[in-house]
Chains A and B, each alone.
Chain A
């Protein structure tokens, strides 16, 4: 756990890790139902109440507790973010590795296909996929996963190409190591550093895209709360009940900030090119 120690010594790594930890705890509690109130229950007499000791972040138009809804919303958003990044990282790594390993025609076909996907603005590509599959959590995961696959393919291919030509891979080949062994042992192991950085940053974008999709009404479907849905619902009541906008807005921002900070710290630590620049 040397990496963890180094990350915690890095100022933005420490803050980022702390934010993510808090969110993971909130998401976990929200997922198992340990919220101050039932996130879907409507306390009809307490509609549009400002923040108080009973309702920490106030209530919405239907009298639902904002804090409890946020906890559930975080867990929904995090599930989509983690699952979609898992999809993108797996698919992208496989595509990038094969493109680098087989080279020539395969490289051309695979990477040009990735270029085609990259030519669409992320949210538009996601919209198209949602139109085909119908809105919902699984669709969001698939859509965001596909959108970010090309980025992982690119991140993996370049270093994989560089490593492929190095002596130790040549040596492994002359020893008669199988292709699969070389691919997983030598190539993949050497890609752990760039992938770790990329996965952390991708989690930030996935959260951004997920909340954007649900803000447009194309992600998680109501009554299940998601951060984007809650913000979209707050728009019409922002002057009467600004807390409905402020808390979900801050929550999304902090969550994305956490992953961005951690990703930056990891890049500083793992990527020797940017070391000490603190960009």
Chain B
């Protein structure tokens, strides 16, 4: 996804100072309120009656009185502003309403799916960083030589391949070479059966991690190139530090700043669930939960899930900004 282009700050805009951070903190609740408004009213634009969506054809068998009492139960008889107010008030008590399809509290349904999404996000993140940072650093030290061009070519291809193409190709090779299919359907929790869990999560994590690994490679490479021409690196070199020490000890920590920012943003997105990858590997994560909730018109669940996802994204981004300030003394000290 185009994460780089949205949030990846170019190295020379580090002038974003404390002012910016304070502003971010102050507008955070405002943006969150906007998200809740958008989610709530967008869902009500979806054509179709909520009661019919709930009961299907059986809704036709309802008497007017039964229908009215159902609407009263779900609060659908109130004016829309009142419905929004109630929903908003409930949010502060951690009450996101009752899912229509599951008959359980929305938060409970979401939290049941969240561990899978969290694990998938962490694993794919780990894979991307483990591949991308060394590859980018390696390419930067050999700028414009054949090995650099090769790394760049792979990074470019990785960024241009949609996750469903990667996923399908992986499944194909697995089924042709090993005559087996990845475990699908039910999800094995990590703590019950670590090996079963990891064998189930490996392919989806690679699929999800590949395009981000490419992004990390490109960012680390260009950040490393920037840093390698800095004065302090030249100083380290003239002191007689070995090439390996210069690159991995002196240059890398600073080159990692943009990688940290980018990873934070990507992580925020990943926590929203990977609709397509979950769909291909039949994993019951947050993405598929939301997709199914939309198609089943489970209003409370869609609202809750989308809000949950956006909330995570905003919190992670705020943390990234704080981490960014902590990593870069020029921001921490309020200077330019």
Give the distance in Å from the alpha carbon of A253 to the alpha carbon of B164 in the complex: 11
A120 contacts chain B at the CB level, 8 A cutoff = yes
Instruction: Establish whether residues A253 and B272, one from each chain, have CB atoms under 8 Å apart when the complex forms.
Output: no
With the chains together, A228 CA to B143 CA distance in Å?
Answer: 37
Given A128-B42, A198-B5, decide whether A234 and B168 contact each other with a Cβ distance below 8 A. Answer: yes
Contact call B176/A239, Cβ cutoff below 8 A: yes
> How many interface residues does A have (CB within 8 Å)?
56
Given A239-B172, A239-B175: A205 touches B1 (CB 8 Å cut-off): yes
Which of B125-133, B217-225, B249-257 contacts its partner? B217-225
A187 contacts the other chain (Cβ, under 8 Å)? no
The B-contacting residues of A in range 115-138, CB under 8 angstroms, are 115-124, 127-129, 131-132, 134
Tell whether A277 is near chain B: CB-to-CB under 8 Å.
yes
Question: A-side binding surface: helix, strand, loop or mixed?
Answer: helix
A256 near B: Cβ within 8 Å?
yes
Indicate with 1 or 0, residue by residue over A183-225, a CB within 8 angstroms of chain B CB atoms. Answer: 0000000000000001001101100100110011000000000
Tell me whether B42 and A112 are in contact (CB under 8 A). no
Which A residues touch B313, using CB under 8 A?
119-121
Contact A212 B269 (CB under 8 A): no
Contact of B35 with A116 in the complex, beta carbons under 8 Å = yes
Q: Is the CB of A208 within 8 A of B162?
A: yes
A216 is contacted by which of B30, B47, B291 (Cβ under 8 Å)? B291
Cross-chain contact of B161 among A117, A150, A253 (Cβ < 8 A):
A253
Task: Report how far A124 CA is from B39 CA in the complex, Å.
Answer: 11
A121 touches B269 (CB 8 A): yes
In the complex, the chain A residue whose C-beta lies closest to that of B23 is A108
- In the bound assembly, the distance between CA atoms of A212 and B280 in angstroms comes to 12
Q: Which residues of A contact B172 (CB under 8 A)?
A: 238-239, 242, 245
What residues on A are CB-neighbors of B275 within 8 Å?
123-124, 127, 216
A81 at the interface (CB under 8 A from B): no
Check A253–B157 contact: CB distance below 8 A: yes
Question: Which of B5, B161, B294, B310 is in CB contact (< 8 Å) with A119?
Answer: B310
Are B168 and A204 closer than 8 Å at their CB atoms? Answer: no
**A115 and B27 contacting across the interface, CB-CB below 8 Å:** yes
CA distance A278 to B27 in the complex (A): 37
User: What is the 8 Å Cβ interface bit string for chain B, positions 24-65, against chain A (1 contact, 0 not)?
Assistant: 000100110011001000110111000000000000000000
Main secondary structure of the interface of B (DSSP, over half): helix
Report A-chain residues with C-beta under 8 Å of the C-beta of B225: 277, 279
CB-contacts of B290-315 with A (<8 A): 290-291, 294-295, 302, 306, 309-310, 313-314
A235 within 8 A of partner (CB): yes
A116 contacts which of B34, B168, B272 (Cβ < 8 Å)?
B34
CB B210 to nearest CB in A, in angstroms, measures 12
Q: Which residue of the partner chain, among A118, A128, A201, contacts B294 with CB atoms under 8 Å?
A: A128
Query: Given contacts A124-B275, A128-B306, A273-B12, are A201 and B38 in contact (CB under 8 A)?
Result: no
Contact residues, A1-57 vs B (CB, 8 A): 12
Q: A201, B2: Cβ atoms under 8 Å? A: yes
Interface membership of chain B positions 84-110, coded 1 if the CB is closer than 8 angstroms to chain A and 0 otherwise: 000000000000000000000000000
- Those of A221-270 within 8 Å (CB) of chain B: 228, 231-232, 234-235, 238-239, 242, 245, 249, 252-254, 256-257, 260-261, 264
B147 within 8 A of A: no
B1-23 CB contact bits vs A (8 Å, 1 = yes)? 11001100010100000000000
Judging by beta carbons under 8 Å apart, are B164 and A215 in contact?
yes
* Chain B residue contacts of A205, Cβ below 8 A: 1-2
> Residue A113 at the B interface, CB < 8 A?
yes
Sample (23) of A-B pairs whose CB atoms are under 8 Å apart: A115-B31, A121-B1, A127-B294, A128-B302, A131-B294, A131-B295, A208-B162, A212-B163, A212-B276, A215-B164, A215-B276, A216-B275, A231-B165, A238-B172, A249-B168, A252-B162, A253-B157, A256-B160, A256-B161, A257-B157, A260-B156, A277-B222, A279-B221
State the 7 A-B residue pairs at the shortest beta-carbon distance, nearest first: A279-B222, A116-B34, A257-B160, A256-B160, A119-B310, A121-B272, A249-B165
Q: Which residues of B contact A (CB under 8 A)?
A: 1-2, 5-6, 10, 12, 27, 30-31, 34-35, 38, 42-43, 45-47, 143-144, 152, 156-157, 159-165, 168-169, 171-172, 175-176, 218, 221-222, 225-226, 269, 272-273, 275-276, 279-280, 287, 290-291, 294-295, 302, 306, 309-310, 313-314
Which positions in A face B, CB cutoff 8 Å? Answer: 12, 108, 112-113, 115-124, 127-129, 131-132, 134, 150-151, 154, 198, 201-202, 204-205, 208, 211-212, 215-216, 228, 231-232, 234-235, 238-239, 242, 245, 249, 252-254, 256-257, 260-261, 264, 273-274, 277-279
Beyond known contacts A129-B42, A151-B6, A260-B159: 19 more, CB 8 A cutoff:
A120-B309, A122-B2, A123-B275, A124-B272, A124-B290, A128-B306, A150-B6, A198-B5, A215-B164, A216-B291, A232-B164, A238-B168, A239-B172, A252-B162, A253-B162, A260-B160, A277-B222, A278-B152, A279-B222
